[in-house]
Amino acid sequence: MREHNFSAMVIREISQSAMLICQNPACLCFTGYAAVDGRPRRIAEAAHVLPSGSKGPRASAASAHAQIAPASSANGLWLCKNCHSEIDGDPSRFPATELFKWKKNHQDLVSRIVGRDLEAALLNLRNDKR
């Protein structure tokens, strides 16, 4: 599983703080749903900004962000599976500083739409999408 080194609690924290919305500002797709049996399902993953080991996408940026624990929610993004593959497949195009900016901007977006009706929230999402 690609989410290795994130505990179930951290994965839940990452997904909930993103409101189950992909944190790629060019995507912003909803990623959670209930299956026929009522159990929650998702089409997204908790993705590491900095790798959990010494190798992996953006490993060279780890020393600049040494205060961030690799298995913490601070190092996680909620990404749909397509965005996760794209971002990890081209780390020079998606540097750690950009991904941490996505996370911050997404938290700001979530703060703006929380408590709004669905139509207003969707309008905010549409306007925020690049």
- Mean pLDDT value across residues 91-117: 94
Between residues 84 and 1, which one has the greater pLDDT? 84
Distance of CA 84 to the CA centre of its chain: 9
Query: What is the Rg, in whole angstroms, of the alpha carbon atoms belonging to the chain?
Result: 15
Token couple for 70: 């690799």
**pLDDT interval class at 109 (50, 70, 90):** very high
Residue 112 has pLDDT above 80, yes or no: yes
What is the pLDDT at residue 127? 85
Give me the residues paired with residue 46 across strands: 78
Residue 1 has pLDDT above 60, yes or no: no
What is the pLDDT at residue 82? 96
pLDDT digits (tens, 9 = 90+) for 12-71: 999 999 999 999 999 999 999 999 999 989 999 999 999 887 777 887 777 778 888 889
Neighbours of 54 (CB within 10 A): 7
Domain segments of the chain as ranges: 8-128
Cβ–Cβ < 8 Å for 58, 112 = no
Which residue, among 2, 3, 17, has the nearest Cα to 74 in the 3D structure? 17
Token couple for 89: 């497949």
